[in-house]
């Protein structure tokens, strides 16, 4: 079979379907996609909201809760205890499939009557003190975190696994005492690091591996006591380190800028891919035949992936771990043969379902915890199920629904509160022109008790009563970061700042998060040529052609490493 160029039904740009891809679609018996990989990723991201939380009531027990849905959501919302309890049965909402209507219309109707879980975490079940987290499991004392598990004392972080004592980090694995780090694994006592592995006590590092005690270094391997890639003795290093005054906000800002300029003189490797073969994307570790993939660890035979761990034979997945033979899924953890679903984890053989954990053989179900042989939440015997399922698939082929992920109007979230806004930002007008929903932020009138310019510059001058203050955000709402205009410092947060000897940030958590997203390479690939003179190697890179970085192929980059 040959590759085929198709025109995306959404953005109208051309995209290629490779022979391998056709093999996958044939194996799982779905037609090839009509959207390009990027539009498919955007469509999936519209179904996640980890950063806009609301205070509301549980519609069953009336307790005050934190939820990803506002009070005026058009469906009932239950707290953790109520949702998981036997006090309601998802089958009671079951509806008969109507062949005179489209499938998605009927699924939407169902999604408006079945109770939704207030927020996707396991607080008070397997996690402790993690009320303000989303897509977060088996953890302790975490706050404002999204997508992770096995974490302890972690705050304001996104996509992390097996981490302890850290703040403001993104795409991290097995780290301890880390601050403002991006795409690192196995690091400890390190701050402001990107693409670093097996490092300790590093400050402002970029692509370091096996380094100890390094400051403002790039591309080093197994080095100690280096500053700006220059070797010092332990004694010299310690004297210099003391003089740097890294507990002071303004000196850290100065070094951040200095390091940025320093890095711009060095070549960058086209992509961060480690211990991997025949793979393309960025931040891939231990992968085999994984392509167009980002933030993936231990993957095999995957395509079009964002965030995955120990997953194989899977296409088009967003934030899934231990998944096998899945397609077009959002959080399909511990699943097999899971197709077109959102938050259906621990599932087998399911299609087109929303939030139905531990379901098997379900089609078009909503909130069907532990369901089996059900269609639109109505239960059937095995034979009836298989027959009806095949008929519905035929029906959906005629309506051109089969093979497509859910359209946006099935999502319960406004576009600008969904994760799509982070990677595919749109203005209010663009959102409305496309027929998506926009939600204006609730009016914020926090009574600031400490303007940011009065915050002591040095962490050593911060008193314990700082936790009572409401501090103004340095962006003051004048940005596109969903700025909360003010923020607080929590008790355990202050403890970490002191332990790590870092100054208190000047921005609210949302502004910090969006600045980190802007710093990370986008989940897109461009075909480019190595910029080293005389080298003709080509590669797929997440560095866009117009970017200022000097981008080298693996071989040329290796030669530059000290």
Among 79, 199, 319, 466, binds Zn ion (CB under 5 A): 79
Say which DSSP state 31 is in: P
Q: Total binding residues for Zn ion by CB under 5 A?
A: 23
Applying CB under 5 A, does 535 fall inside the site for Zn ion? Answer: yes
- The stretch among 109-117, 136-144, 153-161, 548-556 that binds Zn ion (CB under 5 A) is 548-556
SS3 67: strand
- The stretch among 84-92, 120-128, 459-467, 501-509 that binds Zn ion (CB under 5 A) is 501-509
Burial 95-118 (b: 16+ CB within 10 A, else e): eebeeeeebbebbbebbeebbbbb
Closer residue to Zn ion (CB): 61 or 126: 61
Applying CB under 5 A, does 223 fall inside the site for Zn ion? Answer: no
**Residues pairing with 324 in the sheet:** 312, 336
H or E segment to which residue 106 belongs: helix 103-111
- The stretch among 112-120, 258-266, 402-410, 506-514 that binds Zn ion (CB under 5 A) is 506-514
Residue 222's CB: how many other CB atoms inside 10 A?
Answer: 11
Applying CB under 5 A, does 36 fall inside the site for Zn ion? Answer: yes
Rounded to an integer, what is the distance from CA 504 to the centroid of its chain?
25
Closer residue to Zn ion (CB): 27 or 63: 63
CB of 212 to Zn ion, least distance (A): 30
CB of 340 to Zn ion, least distance (A): 18
Say which DSSP state 219 is in: S
Among 473, 500, 525, 551, binds Zn ion (CB under 5 A): 473
Closest among 32, 15, 12, 20 to 327, alpha carbons compared = 32
What sign for the dihedral angle of Cα 209, 213, 216, 217?
Answer: negative
Closer residue to Zn ion (CB): 222 or 427: 427
Among 318, 329, 347, 508, binds Zn ion (CB under 5 A): 508
SS3 498: helix
Closer residue to Zn ion (CB): 473 or 504: 473
Closest among 43, 9, 4, 7 to 21, alpha carbons compared = 4
Applying CB under 5 A, does 34 fall inside the site for Zn ion? Answer: no
H or E segment to which residue 478 belongs: none
Among 337, 475, 516, 520, binds Zn ion (CB under 5 A): 475
Applying CB under 5 A, does 196 fall inside the site for Zn ion? Answer: no
Specify the pairing of strand 197-206 against strand 212-218: parallel
User: Angle at Cα 348 formed by Cα 90 and Cα 375, nearest 5°?
Assistant: 40
Applying CB under 5 A, does 82 fall inside the site for Zn ion? Answer: yes
Closer residue to Zn ion (CB): 464 or 538: 538
Could you give the string, one character per residue 43-72, with x where binding to Zn ion holds by CB under 5 A and - elsewhere?
Answer: ---------------x-xx-----------
Residues 467, 494 contacting (CB under 8 angstroms): yes
- The stretch among 152-160, 316-324, 402-410, 466-474 that binds Zn ion (CB under 5 A) is 466-474
Among 530, 539, 542, 551, binds Zn ion (CB under 5 A): 530
Closest among 362, 495, 368 to 91, alpha carbons compared = 368
Residues 294, 517 contacting (CB under 8 angstroms): no
Applying CB under 5 A, does 483 fall inside the site for Zn ion? Answer: yes
Q: Can you read off the two tokens belonging to residue 527? A: 């075909």
CB of 32 to Zn ion, least distance (A): 14
Among 532, 539, 542, 551, binds Zn ion (CB under 5 A): 532
CB of 531 to Zn ion, least distance (A): 8
> How far apart (Å, rounded) are the C-alpha atoms in residues 465 and 484?
22
CA distances from 457 to 169, 203, 249, 448, 504 (A): 22, 19, 5, 18, 8
CB of 8 to Zn ion, least distance (A): 3
Closer residue to Zn ion (CB): 340 or 487: 487
Find the binding residues for Zn ion in span 156-185 (CB under 5 A). none
Could you give the string, one character per residue 120-139, with x where binding to Zn ion holds by CB under 5 A and - elsewhere?
Answer: --------------------
> How far apart (Å, rounded) are the C-alpha atoms in residues 123 and 143?
11
Residues 116, 395 contacting (CB under 8 angstroms): no
Angle between helices 103-111 and 382-398 (to 10 degrees): 120
CB of 419 to Zn ion, least distance (A): 17
Rounded to an integer, what is the distance from CA 205 to the centroid of its chain?
23
Among 173, 481, 506, 516, binds Zn ion (CB under 5 A): 481
Binding site for Zn ion (CB under 5 A): 8, 10-11, 36, 39, 58, 60-61, 79, 82, 473, 475, 479, 481, 483, 508, 511, 530, 532, 535, 537, 553, 556
């Amino acid at each position: 079979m040959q590759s085929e160029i198709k025109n995306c039904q959404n953005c109208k740009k051309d995209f290629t379907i490779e022979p391998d891809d056709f093999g996958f679609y044939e194996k799982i018996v779905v037609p090839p996609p009509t959207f390009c990989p990027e539009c498919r990723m955007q469509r999936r991201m519209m179904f996640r909201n980890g950063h806009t939380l609301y205070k509301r009531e549980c519609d069953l027990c009336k307790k005050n809760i934190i939820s990803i849905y506002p009070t005026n959501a058009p469906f009932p919302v239950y707290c953790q205890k109520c949702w998981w309890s036997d006090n309601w049965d998802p089958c009671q909402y079951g509806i008969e499939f109507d062949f005179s209507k489209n499938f998605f219309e009927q699924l939407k109707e169902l999604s408006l009557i079945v109770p939704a879980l207030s927020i996707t975490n396991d607080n008070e079940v397997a996690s402790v003190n993690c009320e303000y987290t989303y897509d977060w499991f088996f953890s302790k004392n975490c706050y404002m975190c999204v997508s992770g598990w096995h974490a302890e004392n972690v705050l304001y972080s996104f996509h992390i696994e097996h981490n302890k004592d850290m703040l403001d980090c993104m795409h991290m694995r097995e780290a301890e005492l880390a601050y403002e780090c991006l795409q690192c694994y196995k690091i400890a006592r390190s701050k402001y690091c990107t693409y670093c592995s097996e490092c300790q006590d590093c400050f402002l590092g970029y692509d370091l591996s096996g380094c100890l005690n390094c400051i403002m270094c790039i591309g080093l391997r197994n080095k100690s006591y280096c500053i700006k890639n220059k070797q010092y003795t332990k004694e010299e290093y310690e004297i210099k380190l003391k003089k740097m005054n890294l507990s002071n906000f303004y000196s850290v800002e100065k070094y951040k800028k200095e390091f940025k300029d320093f890095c711009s003189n060095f070549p960058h490797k086209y992509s961060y891919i480690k211990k991997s073969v025949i793979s393309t994307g960025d931040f891939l570790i231990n992968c085999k035949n994984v392509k167009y993939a980002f933030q993936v660890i231990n993957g095999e035979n995957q395509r079009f992936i964002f965030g995955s761990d120990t997953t194989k034979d899977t296409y088009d997945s967003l934030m899934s771990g231990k998944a096998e033979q899945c397609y077009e899924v959002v959080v399909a953890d511990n699943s097999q043969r899971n197709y077109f679903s959102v938050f259906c984890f621990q599932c087998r053989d399911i299609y087109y379902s929303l939030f139905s954990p531990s379901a098997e053989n379900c089609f078009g179900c909503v909130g069907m915890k532990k369901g089996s042989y059900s269609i639109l939440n109505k239960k059937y015997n095995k034979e009836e199920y298989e027959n009806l399922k095949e008929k519905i698939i035929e029906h959906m082929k005629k309506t051109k629904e089969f093979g497509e992920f859910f359209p946006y109007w099935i999502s319960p979230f406004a576009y600008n509160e969904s994760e799509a806004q982070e990677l595919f930002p749109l203005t209010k007008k663009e959102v409305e022109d496309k027929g998506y929903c926009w939600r204006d932020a609730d009016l914020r009138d926090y009574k600031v008790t400490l303007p940011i310019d009065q915050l002591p510059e040095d962490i050593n001058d911060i008193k314990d009563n700082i936790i009572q203050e409401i501090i103004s955000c340095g962006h003051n709402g004048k940005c596109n970061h969903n700025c909360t205009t003010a923020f607080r410092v929590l008790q355990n947060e202050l403890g970490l700042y002191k332990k790590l000897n870092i100054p208190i940030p000047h921005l609210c958590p949302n502004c910090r998060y969006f600045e980190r997203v802007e710093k990370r390479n986008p989940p897109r690939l461009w075909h480019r040529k190595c910029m080293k003179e005389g080298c003709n190697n080509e590669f797929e890179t997440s560095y866009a052609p117009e970017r200022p970085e000097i981008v080298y192929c693996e071989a040329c980059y290796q030669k530059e490493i000290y």
